[in-house]
Chains A and B, each alone.
Chain A
Amino acid sequence: MKNRKRIVNIIIFTLLALGSVLMLYPFIWMVFTSFKPKLHVYIGGLLPQVWTTESYTQIWSEIDLLRGFLNTALYSIPPVIAGSLVSVAAAYAFAKIRFKGRNGLFLFLLGSIMIPFPSIMVPQYVLFSGQFSFFKLNLLQTPWPLILPKLTGNVMMIFFLRQFLFGIPDSLVEAAKIDGCSHFRIYWKIILPLTIPALSAHGVLWFIAAWNDYLAPTLFIKNPAWQPVTVMIAKFNEQYAINNHVPRIMAGSVMLIVPVLIIYGLFQRWIIESMMFSAVKE
């Protein structure tokens, strides 16, 4: 019996390991191919026979990747941090402060996530392009269209943190109130530190989504200097798809994936655990 279980475990382990190869193979192929000369792509197996960094020097010299990364960082770090702080405050209010219409307003907010982005992207574009009689500012030449919407918080995050805060006893907040703490102080000194683990996991996922975003930047960023790295590399890759310069395309993809992979590597335990935790909550 025990022996049988061990055999089953070995079989399952082998299957999962083979599956892992399937999951990772595209990445491995991508990395090795990016170091091959153009004409060697499909000869001599997975590993390059001749290693070259030509594709990387090309991509760095041809497009302003540094600027692209800085732009992407600008779109995905400060707005996500600010938006997270706003979200915690809102979640705190929805979970711990009593006011009229609290649940109704929450449902109202939650309802908004049902509207898919493609259904509102054209009016958003119009809004940002300043074509209105009441709003004439053209933001399409600036980075703001990718920053402003994030600053007002993330509804899914509010939803999740609200659930999380329901699990924290009200007496904690009451005690602080009796001690004369204002709600802002409670938010800043008690709630924020308490939610940091849950918050950072969700924040990282939000950051990754913002980092990988493609449709919104292609629409809203009309000034090439402000393009995020996804759009720059997609353009670079499309250009080399025409003459089929595969290593350059793969180098572009590597540049896109590696930063996120590093962040994921650092936070993976948090991310997976928070995903599982929020799944139970749902």
Chain B
Amino acid sequence: MQRTAGKRVAAPDLRQRGLNYRQKDALWGYGMIAIPLIGMLIFILIPFGMSVYASFTSWPMGQAIEKAKVVGVKNYVDMFNNKLFWQSLGNTFYYMIGIPIGLAIALLLAAAMNRGTRYEKVFRVIYYVPVISSLVAITFVFQQIFNSDVGIINTGLRWLGVSDPPNWMSHAGYTKWVIIIMAVWKGLGSSIILYIAGMQGISRSYYEAAQVDGANWWQIFRKITLPLLMPVTFYLIVTGVIGGSQMYVEPRLMFTGNGPNNSTFTTVIHLYDRTFVNSKAGYGSAVAVFLAVVVFILTLIQFKLNGKGDK
């Protein structure tokens, strides 16, 4: 191939070698990205294709997928007619109340930790500890903390004069809040870090100009800091929603089964149980595809909003 190229353009020796180098470069390039691409193909794309295909079949878990009968959109119809599915979806989205709550607290804490005083770095490290801790371990601790009879929360509430504190673990109206509180507590540190990074990216001159104009702390925070942190907030909301839509471990370990009155189980738990407990992998795949579509749409929204923020 080199020879023909050389013949056609009658290139001098040097140019021929240049072409050669470029080809060699490209080969190295493809070689170095080959492993991640193959990995993506085997572990993500092909399985996802299978999920899509399986969602149109009546595939019992344990049987070969090639032999599963194609049933059209039956699984999706079943899913949309299933009260439990909607309940799991409702629970999953209910948990997301924690996202704005967590962001508001994180924003205030970040503002408090970004004043250039001593010990701030220590606080950042402390508030980040829950982020890196094992969710499994944390879940068991919070199960005890929220114990209705003897947990520290209710002991504290009684000490404060609440004679009949909530039955956190067994009353369907409160169970979700145990998980929300835990999720907020666990995620705070990471939102704080991102907010601080965002705040440090804001030019000092804005603040100085505002101070010259006589703006007070709250005005500066509302009119300068908050709008300029919008990209961080969007990022945190969407990653929070994407992460939240996949919630599994917390409700699974903290509440046995689906929780009191099905109050805590999530879409992923529904997917898992239908597939592995009830052996309805076709139906489970429909839920899996639905979940991916939801996450995809949410990600698109983030890209759209981010794009707007840049302009």
Which residues of A come within 8 Å of B, CB atoms? 9, 12-13, 15-16, 19-20, 22-27, 29-30, 33, 41-42, 86-87, 89-90, 92-94, 97-100, 102, 105, 108-109, 112, 114-124, 126-127, 131-133, 148-149, 151-153, 155, 158, 182-184, 187, 208, 211-212, 214-215, 230, 233-234, 237-238, 241, 246, 249-250, 252-254, 256-257, 260-261, 264, 268, 271-272, 275-277, 279-280, 282
Asked, given contacts A116-B295, A118-B248, A272-B125, whether A234 binds B136 with beta carbons under 8 Å apart, the answer is: yes
Chain B residues contacting A115 (CB-CB under 8 Å) are 44, 48, 292, 295
Q: Shortest beta-carbon distance, B224 to chain A, in Å? A: 18
B134 with A158: CB separation less than 8 A: no
Interface residue stretch chosen among B2-10, B83-91, B172-180, B194-202? B194-202
Complexed CA–CA distance, A152 and B289 (Å): 24
Rounded to whole Å, the gap between the CB of B303 and the closest CB of chain A is 10
> Bound state CA distance, A260 and B143, in angstroms?
21
Query: Across the interface, which residues of B come within 8 angstroms of A230, CB to CB?
Result: 134, 136
Known: A116-B295, A118-B246, A119-B291. A256 touches B197 (CB 8 A): no
Q: List 11 A-B contacts (CB under 8 A).
A: A25-B152, A26-B142, A29-B152, A93-B28, A97-B32, A109-B40, A127-B47, A214-B249, A246-B144, A250-B141, A282-B235
- Identify the closest chain B residue to A124 (Cβ): B47
Query: Contact between A23 and B48 (Cβ–Cβ < 8 Å)?
Result: no
Q: Which of B138-190 contact A (CB under 8 A)?
A: 138, 140-145, 150, 152, 185, 188-190
Residue of B50, B66, B130, B289 ringed by the most chain A CB atoms within 10 A: B50
Given contacts A19-B127, A90-B36, A131-B64, contact A253 B28 (CB under 8 A): no
Q: How far apart are the CA atoms of A215 and B200 in the complex, in Å? A: 36
- Residue of A148, A149, A264 near B132 (CB, 8 A) is A264
Q: In the complex, what's the smallest C-beta–C-beta distance from B16 to chain A, in angstroms?
A: 18
